[in-house]
Structure 1
Amino acid sequence: MFLENEKLKLRALEPEDLEVLYKWENNTNLWVHGNTLTPYSKLALRQYISETQQQDIYEAKQLRFMIELKATNTAIGTIDLYEFDFHHSRAGVGILIDENHRNNSYALQTLELIKEYVFAFLHIKQIFAYITTDNSQSIRLFEKAGYKRAGELLDWVHYDSIYKNVYIYQLINN
């Protein structure tokens, strides 16, 4: 079965996710890992949740799942597919695990679930991730998940008055 294992379930966003999304999206410490430049309002997030319930990945070119612990039905993170390109058969992936649930192998399990979904259900050729070169925890995670470093983009991310290099990691379905 796609999108779940014995501990985790990847599910669509629900209106009840508003508060936890608001907390994660407005955590300025996480903005360096994405493209966020300003805080999100609850109204904007409410609209985003509503829109994502009505669009599929082919239309929106992106898809977000909530990562939920099956035992407690607790949302512990999100995983995004972005820059979905049907023609070139690829999608970017980004993952967030709430700091209270890290170091439990949930991120690795989630990457495995999304890999199965992307390769076996969507029939996509490859998944890629951009990771700043100083993010050793994410580098270890993606390498453990089988991603290979494919290149480095110099001065790619501007954050807190400095530029950071970014590695590109790929997982190709052979």
Structure 2
Amino acid sequence: MPASRLIHLRALEPTDLDFLYALENDRDIWGVSDTLAPVSRHELREYLVHAAADIYVVRQLRQVITTEIGQIPVGVIDLFEYDPLHQRAGVGITILASERRHGYARQALGLLKKYAREVLRLHQLYATVGASNGASMRLFQAAGFRRVGTRRQWLRTPSGWADAVEWQCLLGDEGNE
């Protein structure tokens, strides 16, 4: 899997069970991950059994973001809604709260873009970000994504409806890297 100065991206392993359990059950990120209920260890064990399935079959790919030193998991990065005909996929990224603001997410997006372009031969990546999620908006902009639109009242939140901002990165467009 790809690596950078601070991080590596690697496939999910059975030993990631406790890490995934903590990440998936962090209520603070449920609002950005469309999650409404806790995930059991049993569900995650079953998920890990099938996580290595081919992206062409399951239309998604999850990679663990680990520190270069110690190989400690700090987050996950996902490709989802993979579309081989139109050569595109959505991107989602989650970093443990304790590991944010170290540059891991930006580096992971850079590595994922390279993997998507060179290995999967994708033409573009896209992301949907809640308009109030300033950190994610800055992240995608810094990673070469362009803001392409706003979906009004797209996300239902505990405080009401919220807008979502659409981001797009054309992988062959040098001005968008």
Shorter-normalised TM-score: what interval?
over 0.9
Q: Work out which of the residue numbers 62, 82, 85 in structure 2 matches 1:84.
A: 82
Question: What's 1:44 paired with?
Answer: 43
Percent pairwise identity: 37
**Cα displacement (A) at 1:27:** 1.1
Question: What's 2:148 paired with?
Answer: 150
Q: Hey, what's the Cα distance between the residues in 2 that align with 1:92 and 1:62? A: 9
> Can you give the 5+ residue segments of structure 1 that lack an aligned partner in the other structure?
none
**Cα displacement (A) at 1:106:** 0.9
**Cα displacement (A) at 1:6:** 2.8
Q: Work out which of the residue numbers 102, 105, 113 in structure 1 matches 2:103.
A: 105
Question: What's 1:68 paired with?
Answer: 66
Q: Hey, what's the Cα distance between the residues in 2 that align with 1:19 and 1:159? A: 28
Q: Hey, what's the Cα distance between the residues in 2 that align with 1:167 and 1:4? A: 29
TM-score, normalised by the number of residues in structure 2:
0.94
Question: What's 1:93 paired with?
Answer: 91
Tell me the alpha carbon deviations over residues 21-73 of structure 1, each in whole angstroms, 9 at most, x when there is no partner: 111111111011112111111000110011112x1111111000000112111
The question of 1:4 aligning with 2:24 is answered no
Pairwise mapping of residues 129-140 of structure 1 onto structure 2 (< 5 A)?
129-140=127-138
Tell me the alpha carbon deviations over residues 59-90 of structure 1, each in whole angstroms, 9 at most, x when there is no partner: 11100000011211100000000011111111
Q: Secondary structure at the match of 1:3?
A: coil
- Counterpart code for 1:26: N
Deviates more, 1:62-71 or 1:4-13: 4-13
Q: How many residues align?
A: 172
- Counterpart code for 1:70: E
Quote the RMSD (CA, aligned, Å): 1.0
Q: Work out which of the residue numbers 114, 120, 128 in structure 1 matches 2:126.
A: 128
Q: Secondary structure at the match of 1:103?
A: coil
- Counterpart code for 2:45: R
Q: Hey, what's the Cα distance between the residues in 1 that align with 2:143 and 2:67? A: 20
- Counterpart code for 2:63: F
Question: What's 1:165 paired with?
Answer: 163
Q: Hey, what's the Cα distance between the residues in 1 that align with 2:43 and 2:138? A: 33
Tell me the alpha carbon deviations over residues 97-116 of structure 1, each in whole angstroms, 9 at most, x when there is no partner: 11111111111110000000
Q: Secondary structure at the match of 1:142?
A: helix
The question of 1:32 aligning with 2:31 is answered yes
Q: Hey, what's the Cα distance between the residues in 1 that align with 2:57 and 2:82? A: 10
Structure 1 ranges of 4+ moved more than 3 A:
none
**Cα displacement (A) at 1:161:** 4.9
TM-score, normalised by the number of residues in structure 1:
0.95
